[in-house]
Amino acid sequence: MKLTTTFTRLALGSAVMLASLGSVQAQEDEVKIGFIVKKPEQAWFINEQEAATEVGEELGFEVVRLGGEDGQEVLSAIDNLYSQGAEGFVICPPDVRLGPAIMNRANQYGMKVVTVDDQFVNSSGEPMEGVPHLGMSGTKIGRQVGEAINAEMEARGWNPEEVAALRITNNELPTAVERTDGATEALIAAGFPEDNIFDAPQQSTDTSGAFSAASPVLSQRGDYEHWVIYALNEESVLGGVRATEQYGLAPEDVIGVGINGSGAAFAEFSRDNPTGVHGTVAVSSTMHGRQTAEDLYRWISEDQEPQANTETSGTLMTRDNWEEVRAALGL
Protein backbone atom coordinates (compact mmCIF):
# COMPACT_ATOMS: atom_id res chain seq x y z
CA MET A 1 0.00 0.00 0.00
CA LYS A 2 2.80 2.37 0.98
CA LEU A 3 4.68 1.46 -2.21
CA THR A 4 1.60 2.24 -4.32
CA THR A 5 1.12 5.55 -2.57
CA THR A 6 4.77 6.42 -3.12
CA PHE A 7 4.54 5.67 -6.85
CA THR A 8 1.31 7.69 -7.08
CA ARG A 9 2.98 10.68 -5.44
CA LEU A 10 5.99 10.39 -7.72
CA ALA A 11 3.75 10.24 -10.75
CA LEU A 12 1.78 13.25 -9.62
CA GLY A 13 5.00 15.12 -8.86
CA SER A 14 6.36 14.32 -12.30
CA ALA A 15 3.16 15.47 -13.94
CA VAL A 16 3.24 18.74 -12.04
CA MET A 17 6.91 19.23 -12.96
CA LEU A 18 6.25 18.51 -16.63
CA ALA A 19 3.29 20.88 -16.64
CA SER A 20 5.43 23.55 -15.00
CA LEU A 21 8.24 23.02 -17.50
CA GLY A 22 5.71 23.16 -20.31
CA SER A 23 4.39 26.46 -18.99
CA VAL A 24 7.91 27.90 -18.77
CA GLN A 25 8.67 26.69 -22.29
CA ALA A 26 5.46 28.24 -23.60
CA GLN A 27 6.46 31.54 -22.03
CA GLU A 28 9.92 31.28 -23.53
CA ASP A 29 8.45 30.47 -26.94
CA GLU A 30 6.17 33.54 -26.94
CA VAL A 31 7.44 36.09 -29.43
CA LYS A 32 8.27 39.52 -28.02
CA ILE A 33 8.67 42.61 -30.20
CA GLY A 34 9.25 46.30 -29.58
CA PHE A 35 7.33 49.28 -30.93
CA ILE A 36 9.41 52.47 -30.80
CA VAL A 37 7.93 55.87 -31.70
CA LYS A 38 9.48 59.32 -31.91
CA LYS A 39 6.68 61.22 -30.12
CA PRO A 40 5.05 58.86 -27.59
CA GLU A 41 2.77 61.60 -26.26
CA GLN A 42 1.14 62.37 -29.64
CA ALA A 43 -2.28 60.81 -30.29
CA TRP A 44 -1.18 59.27 -33.60
CA PHE A 45 1.60 57.25 -31.98
CA ILE A 46 -0.49 56.37 -28.94
CA ASN A 47 -3.05 54.85 -31.32
CA GLU A 48 -0.35 52.94 -33.20
CA GLN A 49 1.14 51.42 -30.08
CA GLU A 50 -2.24 50.53 -28.60
CA ALA A 51 -3.27 48.85 -31.85
CA ALA A 52 -0.01 46.88 -31.92
CA THR A 53 -0.61 45.72 -28.34
CA GLU A 54 -4.16 44.70 -29.23
CA VAL A 55 -3.13 42.55 -32.20
CA GLY A 56 -0.40 41.03 -30.06
CA GLU A 57 -3.00 39.93 -27.51
CA GLU A 58 -5.10 38.47 -30.30
CA LEU A 59 -2.29 36.50 -31.96
CA GLY A 60 -0.28 35.63 -28.86
CA PHE A 61 2.81 37.83 -28.92
CA GLU A 62 4.01 40.56 -26.58
CA VAL A 63 4.58 44.18 -27.55
CA VAL A 64 6.96 46.40 -25.55
CA ARG A 65 6.08 50.06 -26.14
CA LEU A 66 8.95 52.55 -26.02
CA GLY A 67 9.75 56.12 -27.02
CA GLY A 68 12.84 57.30 -28.86
CA GLU A 69 12.94 61.06 -29.38
CA ASP A 70 16.60 61.20 -30.42
CA GLY A 71 19.32 58.86 -31.59
CA GLN A 72 20.64 58.01 -28.14
CA GLU A 73 17.17 57.21 -26.82
CA VAL A 74 16.53 54.92 -29.79
CA LEU A 75 19.77 52.99 -29.28
CA SER A 76 19.03 52.68 -25.56
CA ALA A 77 15.54 51.41 -26.42
CA ILE A 78 17.04 48.75 -28.69
CA ASP A 79 19.43 47.68 -25.93
CA ASN A 80 16.45 47.51 -23.57
CA LEU A 81 14.50 45.34 -25.98
CA TYR A 82 17.40 42.96 -26.48
CA SER A 83 17.81 42.56 -22.72
CA GLN A 84 14.13 41.59 -22.54
CA GLY A 85 14.47 38.97 -25.25
CA ALA A 86 12.72 40.85 -28.06
CA GLU A 87 13.44 39.47 -31.52
CA GLY A 88 12.68 42.62 -33.49
CA PHE A 89 10.95 45.98 -33.43
CA VAL A 90 8.75 48.37 -35.37
CA ILE A 91 10.02 51.93 -35.38
CA CYS A 92 9.08 55.43 -36.46
CA PRO A 93 12.50 57.08 -36.14
CA PRO A 94 13.06 60.60 -34.82
CA ASP A 95 15.38 61.20 -37.77
CA VAL A 96 15.29 59.02 -40.89
CA ARG A 97 19.04 59.54 -41.34
CA LEU A 98 19.60 57.41 -38.24
CA GLY A 99 18.67 54.36 -40.29
CA PRO A 100 22.21 53.01 -40.79
CA ALA A 101 23.10 53.37 -37.08
CA ILE A 102 19.82 51.78 -35.99
CA MET A 103 20.24 48.87 -38.37
CA ASN A 104 23.84 48.36 -37.25
CA ARG A 105 22.69 47.98 -33.64
CA ALA A 106 19.76 45.75 -34.63
CA ASN A 107 22.03 43.52 -36.73
CA GLN A 108 24.43 43.15 -33.81
CA TYR A 109 21.56 41.66 -31.84
CA GLY A 110 20.09 39.66 -34.72
CA MET A 111 16.84 41.63 -34.56
CA LYS A 112 14.41 42.17 -37.43
CA VAL A 113 13.20 45.71 -38.14
CA VAL A 114 10.12 47.20 -39.81
CA THR A 115 9.72 50.96 -40.21
CA VAL A 116 6.36 52.73 -39.97
CA ASP A 117 5.38 56.23 -41.15
CA ASP A 118 8.95 57.51 -41.72
CA GLN A 119 11.31 55.43 -43.85
CA PHE A 120 15.05 55.08 -43.19
CA VAL A 121 17.38 56.71 -45.70
CA ASN A 122 21.01 55.90 -46.42
CA SER A 123 23.98 58.28 -46.58
CA SER A 124 22.87 59.36 -50.07
CA GLY A 125 19.40 60.27 -48.87
CA GLU A 126 17.78 57.32 -50.66
CA PRO A 127 15.39 54.84 -48.99
CA MET A 128 17.34 52.06 -47.31
CA GLU A 129 16.98 48.65 -48.90
CA GLY A 130 16.29 45.53 -46.90
CA VAL A 131 14.09 47.24 -44.29
CA PRO A 132 10.35 46.68 -44.88
CA HIS A 133 8.29 49.86 -44.59
CA LEU A 134 4.64 50.80 -44.22
CA GLY A 135 3.53 54.39 -44.55
CA MET A 136 1.44 56.82 -46.49
CA SER A 137 2.57 58.16 -49.85
CA GLY A 138 3.63 61.64 -48.81
CA THR A 139 3.17 63.16 -52.25
CA LYS A 140 -0.28 61.65 -52.83
CA ILE A 141 -1.51 62.61 -49.37
CA GLY A 142 -0.14 66.11 -49.90
CA ARG A 143 -2.02 66.43 -53.17
CA GLN A 144 -5.21 65.47 -51.36
CA VAL A 145 -4.54 68.33 -48.94
CA GLY A 146 -4.03 70.81 -51.80
CA GLU A 147 -7.15 69.59 -53.58
CA ALA A 148 -9.22 69.96 -50.39
CA ILE A 149 -7.95 73.53 -49.91
CA ASN A 150 -8.74 74.41 -53.53
CA ALA A 151 -12.25 73.01 -53.23
CA GLU A 152 -12.97 74.95 -50.03
CA MET A 153 -11.58 78.21 -51.47
CA GLU A 154 -13.91 77.80 -54.44
CA ALA A 155 -16.85 77.03 -52.14
CA ARG A 156 -16.17 80.25 -50.21
CA GLY A 157 -15.80 82.26 -53.40
CA TRP A 158 -12.23 83.32 -52.68
CA ASN A 159 -10.06 84.78 -55.43
CA PRO A 160 -6.69 82.93 -55.22
CA GLU A 161 -4.88 86.13 -56.18
CA GLU A 162 -6.02 87.64 -52.88
CA VAL A 163 -5.16 84.62 -50.71
CA ALA A 164 -1.88 83.79 -48.96
CA ALA A 165 -0.72 80.23 -48.26
CA LEU A 166 1.23 79.41 -45.13
CA ARG A 167 3.42 76.38 -45.84
CA ILE A 168 4.74 75.13 -42.50
CA THR A 169 7.83 73.17 -43.45
CA ASN A 170 10.40 70.78 -42.05
CA ASN A 171 12.99 70.22 -44.73
CA GLU A 172 15.01 67.84 -42.55
CA LEU A 173 12.27 65.22 -42.80
CA PRO A 174 11.78 63.72 -46.30
CA THR A 175 8.22 62.69 -45.48
CA ALA A 176 7.37 66.28 -44.58
CA VAL A 177 8.89 67.58 -47.80
CA GLU A 178 6.87 65.09 -49.85
CA ARG A 179 3.63 66.09 -48.15
CA THR A 180 4.06 69.85 -48.42
CA ASP A 181 5.42 69.59 -51.98
CA GLY A 182 2.41 67.50 -52.97
CA ALA A 183 0.03 70.10 -51.54
CA THR A 184 1.92 72.91 -53.27
CA GLU A 185 1.75 71.09 -56.62
CA ALA A 186 -2.02 70.67 -56.31
CA LEU A 187 -2.52 74.33 -55.39
CA ILE A 188 -0.42 75.63 -58.29
CA ALA A 189 -2.05 73.20 -60.74
CA ALA A 190 -5.43 74.71 -59.83
CA GLY A 191 -4.18 78.24 -60.49
CA PHE A 192 -2.93 79.37 -57.08
CA PRO A 193 -0.16 81.99 -57.48
CA GLU A 194 3.21 80.56 -56.46
CA ASP A 195 4.31 83.99 -55.23
CA ASN A 196 1.53 83.87 -52.63
CA ILE A 197 3.01 80.81 -50.90
CA PHE A 198 5.14 81.66 -47.85
CA ASP A 199 7.35 79.23 -45.95
CA ALA A 200 7.39 78.92 -42.17
CA PRO A 201 10.29 76.59 -41.24
CA GLN A 202 9.57 74.75 -38.00
CA GLN A 203 12.08 73.45 -35.47
CA SER A 204 9.76 70.74 -34.15
CA THR A 205 6.82 68.96 -35.74
CA ASP A 206 4.28 69.80 -33.05
CA THR A 207 1.76 72.56 -32.37
CA SER A 208 4.13 74.84 -30.43
CA GLY A 209 6.86 74.52 -33.06
CA ALA A 210 4.42 75.42 -35.82
CA PHE A 211 3.01 78.34 -33.83
CA SER A 212 6.50 79.77 -33.41
CA ALA A 213 7.22 79.32 -37.12
CA ALA A 214 3.94 80.82 -38.33
CA SER A 215 3.71 83.93 -36.15
CA PRO A 216 6.49 86.01 -37.76
CA VAL A 217 5.28 85.16 -41.28
CA LEU A 218 1.78 86.41 -40.48
CA SER A 219 3.21 89.62 -39.01
CA GLN A 220 5.27 90.27 -42.14
CA ARG A 221 2.37 89.64 -44.54
CA GLY A 222 -0.42 91.69 -43.04
CA ASP A 223 -1.74 92.74 -46.46
CA TYR A 224 -3.65 89.44 -46.90
CA GLU A 225 -7.10 88.91 -45.39
CA HIS A 226 -7.53 85.27 -46.36
CA TRP A 227 -5.07 82.49 -45.49
CA VAL A 228 -4.75 78.79 -46.21
CA ILE A 229 -2.47 76.61 -44.10
CA TYR A 230 -0.87 73.23 -44.72
CA ALA A 231 1.96 71.21 -43.18
CA LEU A 232 3.17 67.66 -42.60
CA ASN A 233 0.57 66.88 -39.91
CA GLU A 234 -2.52 68.29 -38.23
CA GLU A 235 -0.65 69.31 -35.06
CA SER A 236 1.43 71.69 -37.17
CA VAL A 237 -1.61 73.04 -39.00
CA LEU A 238 -3.25 73.59 -35.62
CA GLY A 239 -0.21 75.62 -34.53
CA GLY A 240 -0.59 77.77 -37.63
CA VAL A 241 -4.29 78.27 -36.95
CA ARG A 242 -3.58 79.29 -33.36
CA ALA A 243 -1.10 81.85 -34.70
CA THR A 244 -3.80 83.32 -37.00
CA GLU A 245 -6.13 83.59 -34.00
CA GLN A 246 -3.51 85.49 -32.03
CA TYR A 247 -2.90 87.69 -35.05
CA GLY A 248 -6.61 88.57 -35.13
CA LEU A 249 -7.88 86.64 -38.15
CA ALA A 250 -11.42 85.29 -37.96
CA PRO A 251 -11.98 81.53 -38.44
CA GLU A 252 -13.93 82.17 -41.65
CA ASP A 253 -10.82 83.80 -43.14
CA VAL A 254 -8.64 80.71 -42.60
CA ILE A 255 -8.61 77.28 -44.26
CA GLY A 256 -6.27 74.83 -42.57
CA VAL A 257 -6.02 71.23 -43.75
CA GLY A 258 -3.81 68.74 -41.95
CA ILE A 259 -2.79 65.11 -42.25
CA ASN A 260 -3.29 62.16 -39.87
CA GLY A 261 -6.75 62.01 -38.30
CA SER A 262 -6.14 61.89 -34.56
CA GLY A 263 -6.92 63.63 -31.30
CA ALA A 264 -5.88 67.12 -32.38
CA ALA A 265 -8.40 67.13 -35.22
CA PHE A 266 -11.15 65.47 -33.18
CA ALA A 267 -10.85 68.16 -30.52
CA GLU A 268 -11.16 70.94 -33.10
CA PHE A 269 -14.16 69.38 -34.83
CA SER A 270 -15.88 68.90 -31.45
CA ARG A 271 -15.77 72.59 -30.54
CA ASP A 272 -19.06 74.47 -30.35
CA ASN A 273 -17.91 76.93 -33.00
CA PRO A 274 -15.80 76.20 -36.11
CA THR A 275 -12.12 77.18 -36.10
CA GLY A 276 -9.68 77.71 -38.94
CA VAL A 277 -9.03 73.95 -39.05
CA HIS A 278 -11.26 73.03 -41.98
CA GLY A 279 -10.19 69.41 -42.27
CA THR A 280 -7.53 66.74 -42.21
CA VAL A 281 -6.66 63.91 -44.56
CA ALA A 282 -7.18 61.01 -42.19
CA VAL A 283 -5.07 57.89 -42.34
CA SER A 284 -5.67 54.97 -40.01
CA SER A 285 -2.97 55.05 -37.34
CA THR A 286 -4.73 52.00 -35.92
CA MET A 287 -4.17 50.10 -39.15
CA HIS A 288 -0.52 51.22 -39.27
CA GLY A 289 0.07 49.88 -35.76
CA ARG A 290 -1.78 46.60 -36.27
CA GLN A 291 -0.35 45.83 -39.69
CA THR A 292 3.30 46.51 -38.92
CA ALA A 293 3.19 44.60 -35.64
CA GLU A 294 1.51 41.61 -37.29
CA ASP A 295 3.92 41.75 -40.25
CA LEU A 296 6.92 41.68 -37.92
CA TYR A 297 5.42 38.86 -35.85
CA ARG A 298 4.82 36.68 -38.91
CA TRP A 299 8.30 37.48 -40.19
CA ILE A 300 9.77 36.25 -36.90
CA SER A 301 7.49 33.27 -36.32
CA GLU A 302 6.74 32.11 -39.88
CA ASP A 303 9.64 33.61 -41.88
CA GLN A 304 7.18 35.65 -43.99
CA GLU A 305 9.11 38.79 -44.87
CA PRO A 306 6.82 41.84 -45.35
CA GLN A 307 6.64 43.78 -48.60
CA ALA A 308 9.49 46.19 -49.17
CA ASN A 309 7.17 49.22 -49.24
CA THR A 310 3.45 49.38 -48.49
CA GLU A 311 1.66 52.68 -49.12
CA THR A 312 -1.64 53.62 -47.50
CA SER A 313 -4.17 56.23 -48.64
CA GLY A 314 -6.20 58.88 -46.85
CA THR A 315 -9.77 60.20 -46.55
CA LEU A 316 -10.74 63.85 -46.10
CA MET A 317 -12.23 64.40 -42.65
CA THR A 318 -14.07 67.64 -41.88
CA ARG A 319 -16.30 69.02 -39.15
CA ASP A 320 -19.30 67.65 -41.06
CA ASN A 321 -18.17 64.02 -41.42
CA TRP A 322 -15.42 63.41 -38.88
CA GLU A 323 -17.35 60.98 -36.71
CA GLU A 324 -18.33 58.82 -39.68
CA VAL A 325 -14.79 58.80 -41.09
CA ARG A 326 -13.35 58.05 -37.67
CA ALA A 327 -15.64 55.03 -37.28
CA ALA A 328 -14.90 53.79 -40.81
CA LEU A 329 -11.13 53.96 -40.26
CA GLY A 330 -11.26 52.51 -36.76
CA LEU A 331 -9.66 55.56 -35.16
User: What number is the average pLDDT over the span 9-31?
Assistant: 46
Average pLDDT for the chain: 90
* Res 136: pLDDT: 85
Query: With 50 as the cut, is the pLDDT of residue 9 above it?
Result: no
The answer to which of 13-17, 93-97, 174-178, 224-228 has the lowest mean pLDDT is 13-17
What average pLDDT does the segment 224-247 reach? 96
The DSSP output letter for 306 is: P
Report d(CA 24, CA 40) in Å as an integer: 32
Which of 277, 284, 259 shows the shortest CA–CA distance to 318?
277
pLDDT tens readout for residues 44-77: 899 999 999 999 999 999 999 999 999 999 999 9
Average pLDDT over residues 77-97: 97
Query: What integer is the mean pLDDT of 31-43?
Result: 94
Q: Kindly state the average pLDDT of the residues 178-182.
A: 95
> Is pLDDT of 11 > 80?
no
pLDDT tier for residue 43 given thresholds of 50, 70 and 90: confident
Mean pLDDT of 36-47: 92
- Say which range, 157-161, 207-211, 219-223, 320-324, has the weakest mean pLDDT: 219-223
Does residue 224 have a pLDDT over 50? yes
Residue 18 has pLDDT above 60, yes or no: no
Identify the bridge partners of residue 312 per DSSP, sorted by sequence position. 136
Quick: pLDDT tens for 297-314.
999 999 999 999 998 889
Q: Taking CA 135 as the corner, what is the angle to CA 265 and CA 188, rounded to the nearest 5 degrees?
A: 70
pLDDT at position 108 is 98
Q: Give kind and range of the element (H or E) at residue 45.
A: helix 43-59
What local confidence, expressed as pLDDT, does residue 325 receive? 93
The pLDDT, as a whole number, for residue 21 is 39
Determine the Cα–Cα distance for residues 43 and 39; give it in Å rounded to an integer. Answer: 9
Helix axes 234-247, 207-220, angle to 10 degrees: 40
Q: What is the mean pLDDT of residues 150-173?
A: 95
pTM: 0.72
213 in Cβ contact with 203 (< 8 Å)? yes
- Summarize the confidence of residues 20-27 as an average pLDDT: 39
pLDDT at 331: 80
- Angle of the 99-109 helix axis to the 71-83 helix axis, nearest 10: 10
pLDDT tops 50 at residue 219 = yes
User: Is the confidence at residue 23, as pLDDT, over 70?
Assistant: no
Backbone phi and psi for residue 177, each to the nearest 5 degrees, phi listed first: -60, -45
pLDDT band per the 50, 70, 90 thresholds, residue 222: confident
Q: Which residues of 97-110 are buried (b: 16+ CB within 10 A; e: fewer)?
A: bbbeebbebbeeee
Round to whole Å and give the CA distance between 68 and 70. 6
Confidence of residue 330 (pLDDT cuts 50, 70, 90): confident
pLDDT digits (tens, 9 = 90+) for 132-145: 999 988 899 999 99
Query: Could you tell me which residue, 1 or 114, shows the higher pLDDT?
Result: 114
Whether residue 258 is predicted with pLDDT greater than 80 in this model: the reply is: yes
What letters, b where the CB count within 10 A reaches 16 and e where it falls short, cover 148-165? bbbbbbeeeebebeebbb
Give the whole-number percent of the chain exceeding pLDDT 70: 91
DSSP states of 58-112 as a string? HHT-EEEEEE-SSHHHHHHHHHHHHHTT--EEEE--SSGGGHHHHHHHHHHHT-E
